[in-house]
């Protein structure tokens, strides 16, 4: 009687595959000593330049300019300020600008507050208006900022109580011949 066994001297396929893999890996990993060196080339993918429209201090109130002349905090009291900020166009392109309110606090004490643009040739343009603690206008109409020109931001304020109010706005600057605009942050603090 002859008996046969499954394991009669044959090596199974999974064992052969595992052994072959170990031999292959040992050949690849024989020398792991050495020096790694890789030089990264530094290429600029964007350029940084001065903004074409900048904010500058006015002659009234107290103003602090931030972030490469692209944001400001304006402190004013209960009166009229002919110009608290200057908006300067530093290049030969014309722009359209406007103010847009995005947040506020304690405006119920503002009996009459008007923030507006003006220059020496075409009068004024009301941008943000608060009457008896409520907005009658929270976004201005587009106003022309000619090439290499200056526009002034002015404010008239009448309050009915003491305290501090804040009107946070964006100065939106429309890129010529597009619908794209930049937003500069301007915070008006009224004491």
Boundaries of every domain in the chain: 53-190
Alpha-carbon distance 97 to 133, whole Å? 25
pLDDT of amino acid 38: 55
pLDDT of amino acid 25: 67
Alpha-carbon distance 85 to 65, whole Å? 9
pLDDT surpasses 90 at 55:
no
Q: Is the pTM of this model over 0.85?
A: no
pLDDT surpasses 60 at 39:
no
pLDDT surpasses 90 at 188:
yes
> What sign has the CA pseudo-torsion 152, 108, 182, 94?
negative
Residue 49 has what DSSP assignment?
Answer: -
Distance, CA of 189 to chain centre = 21
Report the share of the chain in percent with pLDDT over 70: 81
Alpha-carbon distance 17 to 143, whole Å? 77
CATH topology assigned to domain 53-190: Immunoglobulin-like (2.60.40)
Alpha-carbon distance 159 to 76, whole Å? 12
């Amino acid at each position: 009687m002859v008996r046969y066994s499954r394991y009669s001297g044959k090596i199974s396929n999974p064992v052969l595959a595992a052994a072959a893999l170990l031999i292959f890996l040992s050949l690849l990993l024989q020398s792991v000593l050495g020096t790694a060196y890789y030089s990264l080339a530094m290429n600029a993918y964007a350029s940084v330049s001065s903004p074409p429209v900048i904010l500058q201090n006015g002659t009234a109130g107290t103003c602090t300019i931030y972030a490469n002349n692209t944001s400001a905090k304006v402190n004013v009291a209960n009166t009229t300020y002919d110009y608290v900020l200057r908006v300067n166009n530093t290049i030969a392109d014309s722009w359209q600008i406007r103010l847009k309110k995005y947040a506020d606090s304690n405006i119920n004490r503002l009996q009459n507050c008007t923030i507006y643009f003006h220059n020496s040739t075409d009068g004024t343009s009301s941008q943000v208006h608060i009457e008896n603690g409520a907005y009658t206008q929270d976004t201005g109409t587009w106003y022309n900022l000619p090439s290499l020109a200056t526009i002034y931001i002015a404010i008239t304020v009448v309050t009915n109580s003491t305290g501090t109010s804040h009107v946070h706005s964006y100065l939106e600057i429309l890129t010529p011949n597009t619908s794209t605009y930049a937003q500069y942050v301007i915070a008006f603090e009224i004491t």
